[in-house]
Amino acid sequence: MHIGPDGDESIERAVRDGGGEPAALDDADALVWLDWRRDRFPALPSSVRWVQLPSAGVETWMPAIDRDGPLFTSAGGVYAVPVAEHALGLLLAGVRGLATYARATSWVERDDRTLEGSTVAIVGAGGIGRALIGMLAPHDVDVIAVTRRGRPVAGAARTLAADGLADVWSQADHFVVAAPATGATRHLVGAEQLRAMPDHGWIVNVARGSLIDTDALVAALQAGEIGGAALDVTDPEPLPDGHPLWTAPNALITPHVANPPGAMMRHLAERVRENVRRFAAGEDLLAPIDPDAGY
């Protein structure tokens, strides 16, 4: 099993703990790839049957994935807890007015809402969404979970299939976007969806910037159509200096830091260890990438 492009002590230990042994790429039957950039990805020898990627979002990797080639697995679900924690922080900061108060230079009180008693829709209730549901439980909120097929999600008051998403925008107070980025989900949230949201509603995006139409969002914020937006991801990204989202009083931007680097390798090592064990035992691997679905 090869670890590339550079070795990492915690990943090497995880490979050995899972029953594997680090090896040169030409001698390996699997590759654990630790670089988020696809341009450094090597040509694979025919012996490689499995590739573990470091990222949960894999839209940039899809051109490299062939159904007839080795199995690719993502880090889907690996970073769920830290990202969900960040989403909760953004949601609370928005709903409780912290984004506005942090910019204030004088003592101005507002009549802000509370998260308690509200309805929160999680669009894309996968690993991150499920972790967030547990974190929302003490806040006495009703959760609407939106998943691809609409199978019940533990802790959610209701679960909707993706084809029923059009109805959710008028049924919740606040929204957390955690869906995968594919061709089908580009601009999942546009002018129509924003208009359907309540005027006090906050939308949080911890997935990919392309899921929200940025121009439509800026227009909705400027018109006061929604309460605000809290974004850890943007389109374009990085968000350019001088962009209107930086100065919008009802917007809160963090620079794609929901998954802090300090915890990243620790969480990834846990996934590598388990998938190496499964690979050695001939079991199904966690988070296989479906080339047709795009994630």
pLDDT digits (tens, 9 = 90+) for 178-199: 999 999 999 999 999 999 999 9
Beta bridge partners of 253: 231
Catalytic one among 113, 208, 271, 273? Answer: 208
Q: In what order do the strands lie in the sheet with 71-73?
A: 2-4, 30-33, 50-52, 71-73
- Residue 244 · residue 218 · CB < 8 Å: yes
**Phi and psi torsions of 253, nearest 5°:** -120, 130
Q: Sketch the domain layout of the chain as residue ranges.
A: 2-78+261-281, 80-253
Give yes or no for a cis peptide into 138 (omega within 30° of 0): no
Q: Does the annotation count 208 as an active-site position?
A: yes
Q: Please state, in angstroms and rounded to a whole number, the distance separating the CA atoms of residues 217 and 206.
A: 15
Catalytic one among 59, 85, 237, 270? Answer: 237
Q: Does the annotation count 256 as an active-site position?
A: yes
pLDDT confidence of residue 26: 96
For a pLDDT cut of 70, what percent of the chain falls above it? 100
25: which DSSP letter?
A: G
**Which of 48, 78, 81, 85 minimizes the C-alpha distance to 66?**
48
pLDDT confidence of residue 192: 98
- Residue 83 · residue 128 · CB < 8 Å: yes
CATH number of the 2-78+261-281 domain: 3.40.50.720
List C-alpha distances in Å: 19 to 49, 122, 276. Answer: 16, 37, 7
User: pLDDT digits over 201-259, tens only?
Assistant: 999 999 999 999 999 999 999 999 999 999 999 999 999 999 999 999 999 999 999 99
Q: Does the annotation count 187 as an active-site position?
A: no
CATH superfamily of the domain spanning 80-253:
NAD(P)-binding Rossmann-like Domain (3.40.50.720)
What's the pTM?
Answer: 0.91
Cα–chain-centroid distance for residue 17?
28
Angle at 236 between CA 251 and CA 83, to 5 degrees: 60
Q: How far apart are the first and last CA of the chain?
A: 24
Single-letter residue type at 172: A
pLDDT confidence of residue 280: 97
Residue 2 has pLDDT above 90, yes or no: yes
Catalytic one among 256, 267, 277, 278? Answer: 256
Q: Exposed, middle or buried: residue 227 (CB in 10 Å: 0-12, 13-18, 19+)?
A: buried
